[in-house]
Each structure stands twice: as C-alpha cells, then as structure tokens.
Amino acid sequence: MISFLEFEKPVAALEARIAELRATAADGDIDIAAEIERLEKKSAALLASTYAALTPWQKTQVARHPSRPHFADFVAHAFSDFMPLGGDRRFGDDRAIIGGFARLGKRRVMLIGHEKGHDTHSRIRHNFGMGKPEGYRKAIRLMELAGRFGLPVVTLVDTSGAFPGVEAEERGQAEAIARSTEACLSLEVPMVAAIVGEGGSGGAVALASAERVLMLEHAVYSVISPEGASSILWRTADRAPDAAEAMKVTAQDLLRLKVIDRIVSEPVGGAHRDPLGTARALGQAIGEELDGLSRRKPADLLKLREERFLAIGD
C-alpha cells in the first residue's frame, strides 16, 4: 500500500473512493465499472499534474519517502552478481555504506552506495544511511581496488549527511570524507555517480565527485538539509520550504547550474510507485554514460573531472 504525502491528499481521497467502489462492485450486482474507470483517469491526471509542479520542499519529501528505492533495490533490479566487500582494514565495517563487485549488463563494475534501510530494524542497522569514518575509508579501499583492476566505479548516493556523532568525530570523520573525495577525483578509471534520494552535505560529495553525476528526477542535493538551513538563518525549522527554494536543491536547478550532468526521469508519482522501472531506467542511463567514458584515457578522465567541477555555477 502506498503511503501518501501531505500534498497528495486529493489523490489519496480519489484512490480511497475508487477502493470503496471496487469493494461495492465485488459484493453486489451493480455495474459501476464505468464510474471506476472515470475516477481512475481523474486520479492519474491529478497525480501527473501534481508531480509536474512540485516545489523544492515537496521534492525533498518525495526524496525521503519511506518506500523510495534504496541501494539494495537498485542492486536487485539494475545490477547482477553483486559481491559485497566489507571493512576498512582499520576499525570495522560500516553498514551505512555498502560496496563490492557487480555487473551492469555485461560490464564489471565496482558498486558503492548508501543504504538507509526500509523498516525500523534495518534503518537502525544501516544507521539511516549516515556513513561513519570507517564507511568512507571502506569506499576509498574499494575505489583503489577498482583502480588496480581497471574497473569503472559506480556510486549511488542517498544520505542526509555523514554521521555527526562524537565517536565518528573521534575516529576522524572530516579527514575520512576529505580523503574519500580525493580518492574520487584521483581515480584513473571511469566513475559515474547517481543521486538517487537525498544528497546531503560532505557525506554525499565524498561519493559523488565523479566526472559524470546523474540525478533522479525527484532527488535532492544540497550542502545542508532545508531544516538545518532554516534553523541557522531564521532560528526555526518552520521555514524549511523557504530554505529549500533558496538553496536550489532540485535536479532541474542543479542541472542548470552544472552541478549535475543528467536527470533520469522517474515514473509518474515518484520512484516509490515503481521501484523496478526506476532501477532499470537508472541502470540504462549509467550504462550509457560508462559507454562514453570507457574510450577515455586516464589523463582525459582526470582532466574531465577537473573541468566539470571548475565549471559549476558558470
């Protein structure tokens, strides 16, 4: 069952009415198929018009939807032969950042990404997708391994930010994030990053400093959450919608500002309504980007990364 967001209440009301009519039709002899069909068309049209005019704050809510596909879903539907590799060889294994060998079609890749989890138990186990230093150091290890084997790197970014706890700071969170960003920029193999949900702060940049950055249509990417920015600027989180508007967090704004390179369309109503279709569309887009990058020499890849980041905001 779909969990409706606040701005989807008119659609939810229509869907509830359709469900009631279907139950009535199943229990009686009344033929109301025509009315059900009419309401279904009306609901589909309303959903399409609603999602065609989402505000930045509404897109933030969609990016955080509890049923939105996460790393595990993309692995299941877009990749194959995934072999997870754990540990940073210094402290331990971070379940918020997962990585390993995988196949995208016939191509072998190193796949790394954030995993938020789907229910209370898995979200706690994955720390809500907030990586710790050992997670970013694991990512560095896997990127270096990919470089040695000549494998392209694919990252799936979905985090509200790196874990801000005391223990993370004690283990060198800032240094780990900086080193992970450096590892991305110095790779001599192709790298494609995709923002699939939330792309929050340095915790996202540490896995998204690639020569090609893709973004799902209703994902968001920003230096701080709208609530955090609102609290700093206006001393209240109530103006998060204003902050989201000002920060240009949407894929459409970021494409115009050259922060990202390509938007991958989502099904009408968001990725959570069709995780399988979303995963396949993203996998196809990543494959197309890797096809273009595979002919580049290592020096060209490094130059391409440098040029794309220097061009941001031009």
In the predicted structure, residue 20 carries a pLDDT above the cut 90: no
Contact residues for 31 (Cβ-Cβ < 8 A; gap 6+): 25
CA distance 272 to 205: 24
| Contacts made by residues 223-230, CB under 8 angstroms, sequence distance 24+ | 223/247, 224/161, 224/200, 225/160, 225/161, 225/200, 226/56, 226/57, 226/60
Beta bridge partners of 154: 111, 192
- Res. 27: pLDDT tops 80: no
Q: Which of 165, 160, 230 is nearest to 197 (CA)?
A: 160
User: What is the pLDDT confidence band of residue 3, given thresholds at 50, 70 and 90?
Assistant: confident
Q: What is the pLDDT of residue 37?
A: 85
Q: What pLDDT is attached to residue 295?
A: 87
Q: How many C-beta neighbours within 10 Å does residue 30 have?
A: 10
- For residue 35, the model assigns a pLDDT of 83
Q: Which residue, among 166, 177, 182, has the nearest Cα to 134 in the 3D structure?
A: 177
Question: How many other C-beta atoms can be found within 10 angstroms of the C-beta atom of residue 144?
Answer: 13
Q: What is the mean pLDDT of residues 244-267?
A: 95
**pLDDT at 1 > cutoff 70:** no
**Per-residue three-class SS string for the chain:** CCCCCHHHHHHHHHHHHHHHHHHHHHHCCCCCHHHHHHHHHHHHHHHHHHHCCCCHHHHHHHHCCCCCCCHHHHHHHHCEEEEECCCCCCCCCCCCEEEEEEEECCEEEEEEEECCCCCHHHHHHCHHHCCCHHHHHHHHHHHHHHHHHCCCEEEEEEECCCCCCHHHHHCCHHHHHHHHHHHHHHCCCCEEEEEEEEEEHHHHHHHHCCCEEEEECCCEEECCCHHHHHHHHHCCHHHHHHHHHHHCCEHHHHHHCCCCCEEECCCCCCHHHCHHHHHHHHHHHHHHHHHHHCCCCHHHHHHHHHHHHHCCCC
Kindly indicate the confidence band of residue 80, based on its pLDDT and cuts at 50, 70 and 90. Answer: very high
Work out the pLDDT band at 109, boundaries 50, 70, 90.
Answer: very high
Q: How far apart are CA 34 and CA 13, in angstroms?
A: 19
Cβ count near 171 (within 10 Å): 18
Mean pLDDT of the chain: 93
CA distance 87 to 114: 15
Q: Please check the confidence at residue 99 and state whether its pLDDT lies above 80.
A: yes
- Give residue 67's Cα distance to chain centre: 13
pLDDT-derived band at 29 (thresholds 50, 70, 90) equals low
Q: What is the pLDDT of residue 31?
A: 67
Q: How far apart are the first and last CA of the chain?
A: 44
Q: Does the pLDDT at position 313 exceed 80?
A: no
CA–chain centroid gap for 125, Å, is 19
Instruction: Give which of 83, 165, 160 is closest to 117, Cα–Cα.
Output: 160
Q: Which of 37-41, 101-105, 117-121, 199-203 has the highest mean pLDDT?
A: 101-105
pLDDT at 213 over 90: yes
Q: What are the structure tokens assigned to 193, written together?
A: 């990053």
Amino acid in position 59:
K
What percent of the chain shows pLDDT beyond 70?
97
Segment 116-161, tens digit of pLDDT: 998 899 999 999 999 999 999 999 999 999 999 999 999 999 999 9
How many residues in total does the chain contain? 314
pLDDT of residue 18: 87
Residue 28 has pLDDT above 70, yes or no: no
**Residue 293 — very low, low, confident or very high, per pLDDT cuts 50/70/90?**
very high
Contacts of 41 (CB under 8 A, 6+ apart): none
Q: What's the pLDDT at 22?
A: 81
The confidence score (pLDDT) of residue 26 equals 67
